[in-house]
Each structure stands twice: as C-alpha cells, then as structure tokens.
Amino acid sequence: MTTTERPQPARCGEAFTTKPWGLSRMKPFPASAVLSAATVVLDPESQTGRWVGPDGLSVPCMDRHKRSETSKETATKTSLDGNTDQGSDQQGDSD
C-alpha cells in the first residue's frame, strides 16, 4: 500500500486488522493500597454506634453535606392577569 491509498473498512464478517484508537491510550490502573475496614461498636454510655478503626481508635466523624438549594424558584408573572403562576412558590428540594 502506498501513502496515497487509504485502508478499506472491514466488510461484514471480516476481522479488523487495526486496533481501535482508544486502546492505544489505555494504561493499567495504578497500584492501590488495601485498607482494612472500620467496624461499628455499641458505645455503652450513649447506646449509639461508634466507628472504630483496625488500630482500636475511634474514626473521626466528618460533617454531613449541606442540603442542596438549587431548585429554589423565583416568582414569575407569565399569566395574563399579572398574578404569579400557581406553584411558583416552591423552596429548596421539596419537589
């Protein structure tokens, strides 16, 4: 094949002779560390569950995520009488 010829696509039932483009970009996953799991034990004083790591120390409690407020709607006036549309007074994630 010369440089001006283009390879012909494989016909139905024929095998491909070139690798797909994405395979040339793939690499193995990097090595990762295997961590032992934390367990939950019952705290005798508070009668609540407490996370304990494999070293016997308490796992610190992280803050919880804040609830999303992305769906707050503003009052729109698209009705002909100039009043707000019904249902436009929604707040937060209450949908």
Report if pTM > 0.75.
no
Contact 10, 16 (CB under 8 A): yes
Beta strand ranges found along the chain (DSSP E): 39-42, 49-52
Tell me if residue 49 falls in helix, strand or coil.
strand
Structure confidence by residue, pLDDT tens digits, 43-74: 889 899 999 998 999 888 877 766 666 666 55
